[in-house]
Amino acid sequence: MSAAALAALTETAGSGGSGSAASADTTGSEVGGSTAPGSPPRAVKLLKVLLYSDDATVREHLRLALGTRPDAALPELSVEEFATSTALVARMDASLKGQRVDLVVLDGEAVPAGGMGLARQLKDEIFQCPPLLVVTGRAQDGWLATWARADAVVSHPVDPVRFSDVAVGLLRSRVG
């Protein structure tokens, strides 16, 4: 991770709301070490979800819709919230060094860096990128999320049951 990315991550973590949420778990979420490509699978005790939106209300609604355990067959979720694209990209860089990420939820309506542009960037730059779920402003924007290589799309207004079901489907691919 570059010095600038580390500084951005440190700055947002200490700012109390402009980067990661207070509930962020930066110690990793797996038992027994790294999940780097090529390493043997580890027993998972928490699934790590990254949630990006510039709007705190949208982040709250998505976090509440997801819950802490949306499916009994899956481990509990640990959610990290990000208000800036810089902090999210820095955290994704850290995932290359063994800090597990199981799902990334991106607000397609975020400004100045929208979730669809970030989805495309992450898929281009991160080897074995975790699944990306993009929340679009309207159902008609699904084609654009597909262009951005999002693994799934949900549109506003978010139906909590549908959102949770889509997220569970993506998370199941990361377990076992």
**What letter does residue 99 receive in the DSSP assignment?**
-
Q: What is the pLDDT of residue 98?
A: 87
For the entire predicted model, the pTM comes to: 0.77
User: Measuring CA to CA, which residue among 94, 14, 10 is closest to residue 50?
Assistant: 94
Q: Specify the CATH number for 3-31+44-172; select among 2.60.120.10, 3.30.470.20, 3.40.50.2300, 3.40.30.10.
A: 3.40.50.2300
Euclidean distance between CA atoms 26 and 14, whole angstroms = 13
Beta-sheet strands, E only, within 8-142: 46-52, 76-82, 103-107, 132-136
Residue identified by tokens 């063994």 is 98
Q: What is the pLDDT along the chain (176 residues), one digit of tens a residue?
A: 444 443 343 333 333 333 433 333 333 443 333 344 444 445 668 999 999 999 999 999 999 999 999 999 999 999 999 999 999 999 999 988 889 999 999 999 999 999 999 999 999 999 999 999 999 999 999 999 999 999 999 999 999 999 999 999 999 988 86
